[in-house]
Structure 1
């Protein structure tokens, strides 16, 4: 009897671990299924929420002080880049596109719930016209625009491509030297032979003096030293005879050459001034 009972108990003990292992596997499968359903539900809910929040942009506002660009122009440019909703918009791409415009120095693009896009723009500050089209900003960068005729009050800088920054720096130094003598630099040029040319006008408190334009041939190198010699002669001798001067050549190391206008030309100028007066 004892042996038979022991044999039955052994069979039962062998069956129980097998049943428990099957039940454990079943519980694991059910737990995994429940978590998978929960995760899928969360994912689906997230997709629905994202689609609900990613609504079309309803309003674009543009902030900044504008003289050459316009809010309407910038808003039109942004609308052309609206390739998504409130959440899916690529703000970096919109900012990069805005900053490709020569009149925009930098732009900040941000969202405001529920469907508002805010654009903050800093406009470029033109310091001078560059060649026959374009302008130079305060950093000496040459920026191309279709027409720079609206910048006629700015000095004109001319020179080879790739030399904009160097010409800008030389111009600023020369303009500062000439200003105390009442001379305003209107044109500053570097030719292909590396020779410099200036065109200046006499400026008064009320503006530019009529018929006071002077063309100055500087030549190659040593702009500062040559302008110092010119100013010494101009302040002592030439200032009061400005209307008689056709051109000034300061290429020489020890002097200044002056080309005088003919008496006929001077007479015509004075006659014209009398008629205008």
Structure 2
């Protein structure tokens, strides 16, 4: 066979081969040729690229866990704090706002930055509780600011009254919480209380007295006696000894009885409401005058 004939034979053979291959492809069963990551992505509802990232992260996590377990069995404990800092989880900046009377150092001590240097080691609930135990702090809010910032916002308690006990003076809030020691002349416009147990009962007493303006406007100090009852000292040297279980009844009687009200207004008088059904009245003379004899009036 000459050269041209051989070429025609080879071309014809190629055509025949191609036709056979095409026919076989048409009749062959179909197969899903999608790569595994695409199946995983479809199953998880993720894009293929995100699925690959997720699979990679899981693989790294498993590898690190296996490596840590191996090191632990050999007696080596990895420095998790150092690893966390290396991976970008360190606390690099702390912002504190909202405080006026609290010291920065007290809040940072509660944060425990000496031992807590990464977000992995930060127990937010425990830190919040420690900060809110500080005297002036009412509430604390802790927020992470990416990448390495921590935002702490606090609200402080409000001074409500001045409380004296055993010769010392303290600011208290409305709940009776001690905010700090102060000079006795600090904040002269605040109500003043004295005696053990007075701080926790101060707000309740002031709410009661507020209904009796003739007493409330003159009150200079309320003293808790034996942690059971109140002694009210007014600005005109009048003292009201209230009973342990019926402060309201005594104040109501004072309001109804014009004679008792006049005695309160005149000043230098002690009115003792502790006796059942009667009021003991004792004038309070000047320091140079002899003590007066107590008198009683029925009620």
Residue in 1 that maps onto 2:228: 194
Q: In structure 2, the residue corresponding to 1:220 is in which secondary structure?
A: coil
Residue in 1 that maps onto 2:150: 117
Deviation at 1:54, TM superposition (A): 1.7
Residue in 2 that maps onto 1:241: 266
Q: 1:158 to 1:182 in 2, by over 3 A?
A: closer
Deviation at 1:127, TM superposition (A): 2.2
Q: Does 1:100 align with 2:133?
A: yes
Q: 1:99 to 1:131 in 2, by over 3 A?
A: same
Deviation at 1:193, TM superposition (A): 7.5
Deviation at 1:119, TM superposition (A): 0.9
Residue in 1 that maps onto 2:46: none
Contact 2:96 2:153 (8 Å CA) reproduced: yes
More displaced, 111-120 or 212-221?
Answer: 212-221
Q: In structure 1, the residue corresponding to 2:180 is in which secondary structure?
A: coil
Normalising by the residue count of structure 2, what TM-score does the alignment of the two structures yield? 0.55
Q: Does 1:155 align with 2:178?
A: no
Residue in 2 that maps onto 1:52: 87
Alignment of 1:2-21 (within 5 A): none
Q: 1:260 to 1:183 in 2, by over 3 A?
A: same
Contact 2:159 2:179 (8 Å CA) reproduced: no
- Alignment length (residue pairs): 211
Contact 1:134 1:142 (8 Å CA) reproduced: no
Contact 2:209 2:215 (8 Å CA) reproduced: no
More displaced, 104-113 or 181-190?
Answer: 181-190
Pick the structure with greater CA Rg: 2
Aligned residues: CA RMSD:
3.8
Q: In structure 1, the residue corresponding to 2:155 is in which secondary structure?
A: strand
Distance, in Å, in 2 between the alignment partners of 1:177 and 1:39 is: 72
Structure 1 counterpart of 2:242, from 194, 213, 218? 218
Question: Which has the bigger relative contact order, CA under 8 A and spacing at least 6?
Answer: 1
Uncovered stretches (5+) of structure 2, i.e. residues with no partner = 1-54, 66-79, 290-299
Residue in 2 that maps onto 1:128: 161
Q: 1:145 to 1:111 in 2, by over 3 A?
A: same
Q: In structure 2, the residue corresponding to 1:219 is in which secondary structure?
A: coil
Normalising by the residue count of structure 1, what TM-score does the alignment of the two structures yield? 0.59
Q: Which has the higher helix share?
A: 1
Structure 1 counterpart of 2:285, from 241, 261, 276? 261
Q: 1:65 to 1:235 in 2, by over 3 A?
A: farther
Structure 1 counterpart of 2:59, from 32, 35, 39? 39
Uncovered stretches (5+) of structure 1, i.e. residues with no partner = 1-34, 202-211, 266-277
